[in-house]
């Protein structure tokens, strides 16, 4: 029989063959917002371009830096207004370059997910010992500047080497967001024990939706509302996670921020909002770890 290259990180268990459980206080849908706060190299390395042109230049560096100067601050204002927590996907180099952002994260008490050193590099080509060193470096820098080390991880561009989950487990991480494989958390296997995969979106990621596929801000807002409404309905049968991924240089642009505000306000003020746990990826991971063995698939 023909066998293709594969992996042994998790088993196949479809959504209808799993144990039922609820989120805290009997809630059925967990919703969290992830804000990507990133730093890019100037004139080199990786990084998107607003006109889909290859290469690095002053224009696309400045466009991305808009997020750290303007866009992310507008997102913080929106989150403060709606009294929502956030998971901050943080490049560790941000700690050196933007101390005001670090102070705001500390002030809000947000959940911090390590997002590698910089989104100008990816981990896929690293040798194992080099990647292990980068993971240690990122962890230590964020711990030093935030006052607490991160226990959640999402790699730059959500990409991994073949051993990234193993290295994360060995570095003391409890959960990762790299695999858009499910609407529920599931346990991954690593060579040193289990690691929780928390759902993180590809489709509700503003970067891919608005930049790679050229949807409008209004279309993206409609996607958020439709995703929320459908998942709220489906959560009557299964506990689910609805996550939204935002970048300040993308949805922090005023013409996109306006429909985004309307969409998130719709979710927060929904008539059935009492069924929704507005939370963070870190709190989802902590809660899953507290459930009886066998509740979460793969455990």
Helix (H) or strand (E) holding 111: strand 111-114
| Structure tokens given for 294 | 């066998």
pLDDT tens by residue, 145-203: 999 999 999 999 999 999 999 999 999 999 999 999 999 999 999 999 999 999 999 99
Please give the Cα distance from 224 to 34 (Å, whole number): 13
| Structure tokens given for 21 | 């459980």
pLDDT tens by residue, 15-30: 999 999 999 999 999 9
Q: To which residue do tokens 């346990």 refer?
A: 187
- Asked whether 161 and 124 are in contact (CB, 8 A), the reply is yes
- Give mean pLDDT, residues 99-118: 98
- Give mean pLDDT, residues 59-76: 97
Query: Residue 104's closest CA among 82, 79, 73?
Result: 73
Above 90 in pLDDT, residue 299?
no
- Give mean pLDDT, residues 45-69: 93
Please give the Cα distance from 156 to 90 (Å, whole number): 10
Rounded to two decimals, what is the model's pTM? 0.96
Q: Which domains does the chain have, with CATH numbers?
A: 22-290 (3.20.20.370)
């Amino acid at each position: 029989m023909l066998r293709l290259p594969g992996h042994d990180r998790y088993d196949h268990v479809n959504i209808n063959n799993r144990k039922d459980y609820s989120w805290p206080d009997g809630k059925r849908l967990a919703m969290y917002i992830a804000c990507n706060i990133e730093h890019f190299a100037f004139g080199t390395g990786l990084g998107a371009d607003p006109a889909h042109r290859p290469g690095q230049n002053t224009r696309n560096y400045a466009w991305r830096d808009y997020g750290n100067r303007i866009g992310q601050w507008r997102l913080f204002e929106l989150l403060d207004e709606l009294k929502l927590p956030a998971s901050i996907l943080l490049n560790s180099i941000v700690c050196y370059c933007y101390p005001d952002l670090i102070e705001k994260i500390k002030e809000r008490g947000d959940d911090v997910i390590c997002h590698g050193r910089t989104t100008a590099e990816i981990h896929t080509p690293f040798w194992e010992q080099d990647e292990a060193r980068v993971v240690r470096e990122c962890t230590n820098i964020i711990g030093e500047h935030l006052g607490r080390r991160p226990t959640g991880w999402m790699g730059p561009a959500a990409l991994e080497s073949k051993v990234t989950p193993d290295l994360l487990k060995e570095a003391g991480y409890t959960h990762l967001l790299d695999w858009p494989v499910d609407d529920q958390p599931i346990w991954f296997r690593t060579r040193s024990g289990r690691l929780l995969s928390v759902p993180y979106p590809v489709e509700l990621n503003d970067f891919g939706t608005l930049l790679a596929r050229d949807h409008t801000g209004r279309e993206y807002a409609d996607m958020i509302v439709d995703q929320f409404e459908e998942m709220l309905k489906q959560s009557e049968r299964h506990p689910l996670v609805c996550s939204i991924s935002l970048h300040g240089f993308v949805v922090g642009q005023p013409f996109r921020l306006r429909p985004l505000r309307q969409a998130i306000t719709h979710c927060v003020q929904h008539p059935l909002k009492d069924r929704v746990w507005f939370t963070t990826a870190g709190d989802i991971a902590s809660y899953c770890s507290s459930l009886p063995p066998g509740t979460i698939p793969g455990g």
